Structure 1
Amino acid sequence: MTITVSETSTWYAGAEKFGELLDEKSDGRMKLSIFANEQLSGGDPAAGVEMLANGDKAFSYNSPIIYSGIDPRFSAITAPFLYADYAEADAAIADGGAEAYATLTDDMGIKMLGFGESGFRQITNSKHEILEPADIKGLKLRVAGSELFLNIYKELGADPVTMNFSEVFTSLQNGTIDGQENPFDVIYSNGLMEVQQYLSVWNYVYDPLILGMNKEMFENLSAEDQKIVEEAAAEANEYQITLSREKEASQLAEMEEQMTVSTLDADQLAAFREALQPVYDAYESKWTAEVAEAVQPK
């Protein structure tokens, strides 16, 4: 199994829990080896998803943002300002969202074993506070490897670039880029506060994690072993999500000691939503009505 980020992340803790449960439930027959930082694909998560589909590995935690590079419908759940809070995201996922995404992964040769969670994405930079759309103009920002995210930041006047996450810390440190966007856990567990001065808390994108398994590998398991995998996955995802949410407050508190942290209010968020209306209009057809409806707040 691979994850995109480091061993200190809740992603890795979730993967470890998954391995422990597989071992326990199979009486030691199933052993899981975990590789952090996309080690099996040279740091490239998109190549990692392709490896999963091809059967070169068994499992991965990857964001739908990465999957959207293959099929743009995956980016529907990461539309900016789709959910106000975790409760809205949970309700949408339970009421059709997870089912819709399981169908999308199935078409790729991947069995979806539920969602973990990366969390709501925030933005950091080394230049100044970001409080309104004009503050993003001209910043060179590393964004997630997705056409949607490139278009979001181009619409806001930034100079967005994509790069493997493994290169982000050094690029921030040497000034190749001014900033980046990620959830608290990714920012904190990779020490980005050491090379960034400003953090804006705006919860602009909810980012779940697809726990994927190679479909052919899953189908070749006995019914008993399929049940073990599915039960272990459900328990591990629940554990990882709970851990991620529990850690957010303490992670933010520590980052506040090292960075200038700004939490945007409702009026400030409304200004960003208005600025991004052209992006919503452009992506409505790419998401398709069926998938977009499945992830709408309930």
Structure 2
Amino acid sequence: MKRMSRVLTLAVVLTLAIGMTFSMGAPEAQAQETWSIALEEIEGSVQDAWAQEFKRRVEEETDGEVEVTVYPYGTIGTGMGDLAEAAQTGIVEFSMTSPSVVSGIVPEARLFSLHYLWPDDQEIVADVLATSEAVHGPMADAFNESNLELLSLFPEGWQVWTANEEIRTPEDMDGFQIRVMPDPVLSEQYRNYGADPVQMDYDEVYSGLQLGMIDGQVNPVFAIEEMNFYEQQDYMIWGYTVPYIGGVSAGQSFWEGLSEERREMVRDIAEDLNEYIYEVQSDYNEERMDIILENEPDINIIELEEDEIAQFRELAQDAYEVYFDDVGEVGEEMLEILQQDIEDRLE
């Protein structure tokens, strides 16, 4: 009820904003059609880069007949699942629907929260996400069942732990209160490590760290820098558990109302953006790490050794069964396809 109320409020606010826009401009200066896309991240983020390039290409390819408005994080809801619901209900045409964020709506998406599934080579991760039948078959079907048209999944960089104490073994995580996304599979993995997973909205994490409500958090480097989480932490730790997977979907009603030509245009643009956004996230994570080190030169950087990773990898396996229990045989099927796709690219 609380979330539905929040979505309805957002609908009213956006309707008023759109009405003001049209009343303030001359009719001939307006685009014939306006699409909007809502982000899980702030301006200057990886998702913002995707959305801005999407906007540029759509407007260019339609000769200005379509105008795209980008709503950064906080503009349309802050709760997990708000943006997906905004697309489902037609408040926006597109929204970022990263698997961990929409796991409560699309349980099958929890597949991408499983630790130690992916290889070190992030180019392989990007290629598999862009081409795997697991993504474009059963996963896309699962999104469709929730009134979402899955357009793209892409890596945003390795998830990095931040903490005020060194973490090298599961014993070091005993009782560690770590903020995680609202995904039961993700939470189960951290409980298996001995940690105490805490769910908290993205915009509350900094104050949570500052006030000691949580001991640490996990995010890609660019997010740790742009949200200033590193200011409240002494360590950044690479456990190489899982890359953060971003995603974008269209609302199903909007999608079905598009002409076949427009749908093909959007799909082609989304496909073309896979290579673009891979380069962007790579550059952003490298550049933002330099900023962190410049601002906090004493921050401790830890990259776990293989024997240390092995301890976490073994404990992570129990969460795979939790995932299979949640979604049934389709979960096992998608995992097998992904593992085979990864293996094929490693050969």
The TM-score, its normalising length taken from structure 1, stands at 0.93
Shift of 1:73: 1.5
> C-alpha root-mean-square deviation of aligned residues, in Å?
1.8
Q: CA deviation at 1:38?
A: 4.0
Among 2, 5, 10, which residue is 2:46 paired with? 10
Does residue 276 (structure 1) correspond to residue 316 (structure 2)? The answer is yes
Query: Does 2:249 correspond to 1:209?
Result: no
Structure 1 contact 118–209 (Cα < 8 Å) conserved: yes
- The answer to whether structure 1 residue 240 and structure 2 residue 277 are counterparts is yes
2:300 counterpart residue number: 260
User: What aligned pairs does 1:127-206 form with structure 2 within 5 A after superposition?
Assistant: 128-206=165-243
Quote the residue 2:155 is aligned against.
Answer: 117
Per-residue Cα deviation, 1:224-267 (whole angstroms, up to 9, x for no partner): 22222222222334322210012323323333452211001111
Q: State the Cα distance separating 1:273 from its structure 2 match.
A: 0.9
User: How many pairs align?
Assistant: 296
CA deviation vs aligned residue, 1:66-116 (integer Å, no higher than 9, x gap): 121123211112210101221442343323232132222111111111223
Task: Check conservation: 1:77, 1:292, Cα contact below 8 A.
Answer: no
Trace 1:31-50 onto structure 2 (pairs within 5 A). 31-41=67-77, 43-50=78-85
Distance, in Å, in 2 between the alignment partners of 1:97 and 1:124 is 32
Confirm or deny: 8 A CA contact 2:126 2:274 kept in the other structure.
no
SS in 2 for 1:262: strand
User: Which shifted more, 15-24 or 204-213?
Assistant: 204-213
The answer for unaligned runs of 5 or more in structure 1 is none
Residue 90 of structure 2 contacts residue 254 of structure 2 at CA under 8 Å; is this kept in 1? yes
After superposition, the Cα gap between the structure-2 partners of 1:26 and 1:96, relative to the gap in structure 1 and judged at 3 Å, is: same
Q: Distance in 1 between matches of 2:208 and 2:73?
A: 16
TM-score under structure 2 length normalisation = 0.80
Question: Contact 1:81–1:273 (CA<8 Å) still a contact in 2?
Answer: yes
Counterpart of 2:64? 28
Distance 2:323 2:262 in 1: 40
Given that residues 162 and 233 in structure 2 are in contact (C-alpha distance below 8 angstroms), is that contact kept between their aligned partners in structure 1? Answer: yes
**One-letter code aligned to 2:225:** Y
Report how far residue 165 of structure 1 moved: 0.4
- Tell me, in whole angstroms, the C-alpha distance in 1 between the residues paired with 2:288 and 2:249: 27
Aligned to 1:292: 335
1:186 Cα shift? 1.4
Larger Rg: 2
Return 261-270 or 234-243, whichever deviates more: 234-243
User: Aligned AA for 2:153?
Assistant: F
Highest relative contact order (Cα 8 Å, sep 6+), 1 or 2? 1
Q: Which residue of 1 aligns with 2:26?
A: none
Task: Judge which range, 17-26 or 66-75, deviates more.
Answer: 66-75
Q: Which residue of 1 aligns with 2:97?
A: 62
Q: Which amino acid aligns with 2:45?
A: S
- Distance, in Å, in 2 between the alignment partners of 1:87 and 1:210 is 17
* 2:259 paired residue number: 222
Q: Please list the CA deviations of residues 98-149 of structure 1 after superposition, one character each: whole Å capped at 9, or x if unmatched.
A: 21322221111111112233222111112x1111111111111111111112
Seen in structure 2, the aligned counterparts of structure 1 residues 165 and 208 have a Cα distance that, compared at 3 Å, is same
How is 1:88-127 mapped onto 2 (pairs within 5 angstroms)? 88-93=124-129, 94-99=131-136, 100-126=138-164
Q: Equivalent residue of 1:50, what SS? A: helix
Aligned partners of 2:50 and 2:209: how far apart in 1?
28
